[in-house]
């Protein structure tokens, strides 16, 4: 690597790493300060599946610290930029989006009472419950409280198959096909089943909202000591505005519309992935963005200390309908029991 490239790399205000041919070519002092193991000539850390995507953004966890990152392809390699992720997950844009949604729900409750349009009223109820529950999750995360985290040995392939099987018939009513395939018939990992279910439903819901109609593809495979789950769909490539949001995921972007959601789902998914020592990437290119979830299949760090507030008070509602409420048509809720 030339001296000029070294100078350019050192000029970055955040941690910067050059990766060529599957190995670290150079890392600036800030990168080595955060992660001393980033030595030239070595492979990138396994929790960062960089070879899976030429351009991506997301979060990863190293030790007990979570980092946000972007990776961009250039002529003969990849440029990785990262920094510690903010401890307070709820942004001003997310809060504003949540308030707009709540006002919209209140208006719907006034105009679509149970006696006028029962299905639409019930859908709004589920959507509002989901929003409030997500806000509560983010509040606890921002205060440094983590959800109840009880890892055991689970079959990730079986869990994904179960979630896809339950969500698929509901999504089909909205014109969405969910196709899940797993290379290994069984893939054992240490994890919290309830949290991973929520993570999977958040990813499926996010893809369904963005897609509208079409096909969502879930693919699970094992690579070394990591389990990789990829969600892609048949949607259109991202706009320049969407790309900018992916590249600056921690900034306050345009306030979401009530139909688009408050933008809390992916933040929750990233938090759950971090609890498991995993990473969540958004990959983009010539097609629609893909989500890549990477989870360790080895033992978790025994030094982690976690508090245990309740994860979700569902009030007897179906967690599946709550998670997918923003993406499902109102007709699905015609027979939903709110008790």
CA–CA dist 95, 106 (Å, integer): 17
Structure tokens at 278: 């995993």
Hey, where are the domains in the chain?
Answer: 3-84, 109-335
CA–CA dist 277, 176 (Å, integer): 31
Q: Which CATH class is domain 3-84?
A: alpha beta
CA–CA dist 146, 309 (Å, integer): 7
Structure tokens at 70: 């972007």
Ramachandran area for residue 332 (φ above 0: left; ψ -120 to 50: alpha; else beta): alpha
| Host H or E run for residue 111 | helix 92-111
pTM, rounded to two decimals: 0.75
Topology of domain 109-335, CATH: Heat Shock Protein 90 (3.30.565)
Residue-by-residue pLDDT tens, the chain, 339 positions:
455 566 677 778 789 998 888 889 889 989 988 899 898 889 888 777 666 556 777 778 787 778 888 888 877 788 888 888 765 556 666 766 777 777 777 777 666 655 556 788 888 888 888 888 888 887 777 666 666 778 888 999 999 999 999 999 999 998 999 999 999 999 999 988 889 999 999 999 988 988 888 999 999 999 888 899 999 988 777 666 655 555 444 443 443 443 455 667 888 888 888 888 888 888 776 667 788 899 988 765 544 444 333 444 455 678 888 888 888 888 888 764 544
Q: What is the DSSP string of 131-166?
A: HHHHHHHHHHHHTT-------EEEEHHHHHHHHHHH
CA–CA dist 223, 196 (Å, integer): 19
Pairing outcome for strands 226-233 and 290-296: antiparallel
Q: Is the dihedral of CA 120, 121, 126, 131 positive or negative?
A: positive
Q: CB 190: neighbour CB atoms within 10 A? A: 16
Q: Is the dihedral of CA 193, 199, 155, 276 positive or negative?
A: negative
């Amino acid at each position: 690597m030339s001296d000029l490239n070294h100078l350019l790399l050192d000029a970055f205000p955040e941690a910067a790493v050059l990766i060529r041919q599957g190995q670290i070519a150079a890392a600036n002092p800030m990168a080595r300060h955060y992660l001393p193991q980033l030595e030239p000539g070595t492979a990138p850390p396994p929790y960062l599946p960089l070879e899976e995507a030429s351009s991506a953004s997301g979060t990863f966890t190293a030790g007990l610290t979570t980092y946000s990152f972007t990776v961009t392809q250039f002529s003969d390699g990849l440029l990785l930029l990262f920094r510690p992720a903010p401890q307070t997950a709820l942004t001003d844009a997310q809060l504003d989006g949540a308030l707009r949604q709540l006002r919209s729900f209140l208006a719907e409750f006034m105009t679509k009472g149970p006696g006028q349009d029962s299905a639409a009223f019930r859908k709004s109820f589920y959507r509002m419950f989901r929003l409030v529950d997500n806000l509560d999750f983010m509040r606890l995360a921002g205060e440094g409280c983590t959800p109840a985290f009880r890892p055991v040995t689970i079959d990730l392939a079986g869990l994904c198959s179960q979630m896809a099987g339950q969500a698929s018939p509901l999504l089909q009513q909205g014109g969405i096909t969910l196709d899940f395939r797993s290379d290994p018939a069984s893939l054992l990992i240490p994890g919290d089943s309830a949290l991973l279910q929520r993570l999977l439903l958040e990813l499926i819901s996010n893809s369904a909202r963005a897609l509208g109609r079409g096909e969502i593809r879930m693919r699970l495979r094992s690579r070394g000591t990591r389990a990789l789950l990829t969600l892609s769909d048949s949607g259109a490539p991202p706009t320049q505005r969407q790309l900018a949001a992916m590249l600056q995921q921690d900034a306050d972007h345009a306030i979401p519309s009530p139909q688009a959601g408050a933008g809390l789902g992916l933040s929750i998914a990233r938090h759950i992935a971090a609890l498991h020592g995993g990473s969540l990437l958004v990959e983009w290119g010539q097609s629609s963005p893909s989500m890549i979830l990477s989870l360790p299949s080895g033992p978790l760090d025994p030094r982690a200390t976690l508090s245990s507030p309740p994860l979700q008070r569902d009030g007897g509602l179906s967690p599946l309908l709550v998670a997918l409420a923003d993406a499902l048509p109102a007709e699905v809720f015609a027979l939903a029991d709110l008790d």
